[in-house]
Structures are given as structure tokens and as C-alpha cells.
Amino acid sequence: MDGTRTRAQAGPALGYLFVFVPGLLLVAGREFGADWLVVAAIFVVFPLLRVVFADVPGSAPVWTEGWARVLHSLPRAYAIFLGALTAWVAWVLGHGQRPAGIEAVLFGISWWLVNSLATCVAHELLHRPECGDRVLGRWLAALAGYPILGHEHLAHHAHPGDTARAEYARVGESLWRYVARRTPMAWIHAIEWDSAESARRANRWRPGGLKVAVAITLGTWAVFAAVGGGVGFVLYGAQIVGVHFLVQLITYLQHWGLGDDTLAEAVDKEYAWEDTCQLQAWLVMGLSLHQSHHLRPSLAYYRVAPMQTSPRPPMSYAWLMLVALVPALWRIAMLPALDYWKRSPGRPLSPGRRLHCFGLYSKA
């Protein structure tokens, strides 16, 4: 019986290996002169694969202990993988086939996407009870170019629904205004949080502290400048800026319109958009099941299931990211979804094997 269940769970468990695919495509793209591979995968192939993989199940699998141990170790393995990948990028810039021109731009964008997804894995580690995993998560985020994740994210959880602190975007707020508002606040909140932790532990230079994380990011930047010269300096600098932007963008996607500016119960209910696409959940380690995550932050990614009454976005994260760049398009896409959820929270709409929900709102 256990062997049968182990085999039956292999598919859903191994699906989480998708988290490694963008990094492997980055390497393959450089090797074969196809630096567009990661971009094509994230924005075209993966969203289209929704017709194959459909939605996550309504409840999380009861994993065998063997699979639970494997899945629990996966983020740690990923941290090692990203370290090796970063070292490989430094080698490419210093000694290998350095990209140039349009190839360099595509390579930079692809690397940015990989680093951005790495923050999802770091996020999983941050919420673990094991101290070593939390430190590893902070270092992973720092290596990806976003050293404040471990601190500002805990502050984000402590202030659900708070639009004044820019933890949630206001309903009338564009992505650009939100990013401009949130980025400095995220740093301020991270410094405050770190200050509180330092006071608690009487140690400003502890391994999980903000100073160490910032040192990792700056140290990595210095290494890239040293091995890659001007190109290395610009490329990694662009990662830092790009990942900062993308983390705020994802926060925008996950909480737009659900804050205390329009919903009286926002602080208590901790609303968040949940995309139930199975492949999406594999790729971001369950982060897309975001309201569930807010209500039980330390629950491991492989045990999270969607909430039955959560608001659902009309398309995948990848396409929503592009739509959010144009505020008018964002309102066209999201206002019907928000309105539908407010009217019928108990009847969430999911695309299932369709690519989007447009047209479903008018029929509902």
C-alpha cells in the first residue's frame, strides 16, 4: 500500500522540480545561443501548459513521509543550485562565452526571471521554524539581489490589509505608483524589523541579520564587477533593481484591491488573490495560494491548499505581470474579477484548463 501511494505521489511531488527549470534553461540558452529560452518559457510555454496541468487539487495530498522529507529538503537543494548558478554566471562573464549586444539583454532578462523566482524559494525558507532554514532563506534572497526580503516580508505579515504602509495596494493605485511608494517603505520596515531583532538577540551582526544580507548582495556585486568588469557590474546591478521591482510587483498582484481602503475586514481576513494553476504552484512553491499562506504562514508549501472563498485572478501571474505594466489594461482585467468576488465569494471562478477567465464573469 505504501509503495503504491509512493508511486502515485511521484508525479505531483516531482512537479516541484519545475522550480529548477528556469535556471537550467538559462544555462542551456547560453550554451546554445538561445538566451530567449527562459523568457519564452515563463511568458509563453508555462502559461499555455495550463491546458495540460489544470488546477491544484482542493486539498493538499497526504504525502508519504518519504515524499514529505524530500519536498522539505527541496528548497535547501535549490539554495545550493542558485549559488552554483550564480558562480556559473560569474564564470561566463569572466572567462566563458560572454554575451554581447541583444544577447546580453536577453541573458540579463532571463537571469532576472531566475533570480525573481529564487525569492519564492527564499520565501518558503523564511517561514520555517528551523533557524538554519530561515538564515538560508535570507542569504538566498540576498544572493538573488533582494537582501531585505527576510525582514520586510515578516513586517508585511504583521500588517495585513494596511494600505497606508503600502503592504497592500489601494484599489485606485497603479503598479508604478505602488512600486514607487512601497520600495522605500520596504527598506524602512526591514531596518525597523532588523533593529527589533537585534535588540532581542543583542547582536547586530548575527548570521540572519540585515547587515549580513546586505553584505552578501554587495559582496556578490563586487565579485561580478571584479570578474566581469563593466558588464558584470551593470548586469548584477540590473538584477538588484529588477528583483526589487518584481517583488513589489508580485505584492501588488497578490493584494491589489483587498486592503483597508475599501474592505473593513481586510486586517482580520488577510485577503489575497489565489491563482489555482498547478504549474504556477509548482514554480513558485505554493506562493500563488496566497490567502492560505497568509492565514497560516509557517505551513510548508507542499501542504498548502487553496481557500474556497479566496479571490481568483483572471489569468496566470506571468500574464498579469505584463498587464499590470499598463494601468488601464489592469483595471479592465481585474475590476470584473474583484467585483465578482465581492458579489460571490463562495463561488470562486477558476479557468481550469482554459487560459483565462474573461467572459466567465459576465455569464456568472
Partner 1 sequence: MRNLESIVAAPSFFNDVNEVAQAIHDAEDEPRAIQLLKKGLDAIGAEAGIFASFVRDDCSHESYRFFVACDPEWCLKYRRQTWFANDPALIYAAGASEPCRVSELKISSAGQRALMADAARHGFVSGCVFPAPSAGGNSRRGVLVAGSSQPGFYECYGFAKVRLAGRTLALELHEWWRRLLRRELLEEAQLTHEDLELLRLHQLGMGSKEIAALLRTTPASVDSRFQRLIARLGTPTRKAAARVAADLGII
Among the residue ranges 28-36, 151-159, 322-330, 340-348, the one whose residues contact partner 1 (CB under 8 A): 151-159
CB neighbour burial string for 26-40, b if at least 16 within 10 angstroms, e if fewer: bbebbeeeebbbbbe
211 scored as a contact of partner 1 (CB under 8 A)? no
362 scored as a contact of partner 1 (CB under 8 A)? no
**Nearest 10 degrees: Cα torsion 19, 24, 25, 26:** 110
Which C-beta is closer to partner 1: that of 192 or that of 339? 192
Number of residues in contact with partner 1 under rule CB under 8 A: 34
* Contact positions with partner 1 (CB under 8 A) in 122-141: 127, 131, 134
Q: How far is the CB of 247 from partner 1 (least distance, A)?
A: 18
335 scored as a contact of partner 1 (CB under 8 A)? no
265 scored as a contact of partner 1 (CB under 8 A)? no
328 scored as a contact of partner 1 (CB under 8 A)? no
* CA angle, 334 then 321 then 138, to 5°: 120
Q: Which of 62, 84, 241, 325 binds partner 1 (CB under 8 A)?
A: 62
Distance of CA 293 to the CA centre of its chain: 13
The answer to whether the beta carbons of residues 194 and 209 sit under 8 Å apart is: yes
Which C-beta is closer to partner 1: that of 72 or that of 177? 72
Q: How far is the CB of 60 from partner 1 (least distance, A)?
A: 7
Q: How far is the CB of 169 from partner 1 (least distance, A)?
A: 19
The answer to whether the beta carbons of residues 53 and 319 sit under 8 Å apart is: no
Among the residue ranges 37-45, 78-86, 270-278, 293-301, the one whose residues contact partner 1 (CB under 8 A): 293-301
149 scored as a contact of partner 1 (CB under 8 A)? no
Q: How far is the CB of 68 from partner 1 (least distance, A)?
A: 5
Give the contacts of 43 (CB within 8 A, at least 6 positions apart): 318, 319, 322
Which C-beta is closer to partner 1: that of 14 or that of 62? 62
Give the contacts of 98 (CB within 8 A, at least 6 positions apart): 92, 104, 228, 231
Site mask, partner 1, residues 66-105, x = CB under 8 A?
--xx-xx---------------------------------
Which C-beta is closer to partner 1: that of 41 or that of 121? 121
154 scored as a contact of partner 1 (CB under 8 A)? yes
* Contact positions with partner 1 (CB under 8 A) in 162-201: 192-193, 195-200
Q: Which of 2, 58, 264, 346 binds partner 1 (CB under 8 A)?
A: 2
Q: How far is the CB of 97 from partner 1 (least distance, A)?
A: 41
Which C-beta is closer to partner 1: that of 25 or that of 136? 136
Cell 497560516 belongs to 296
Task: Give residues in contact with partner 1 (CB under 8 A).
Answer: 1-2, 60, 62-65, 68-69, 71-72, 127, 131, 134, 154-155, 157-159, 192-193, 195-200, 202, 296-300, 303
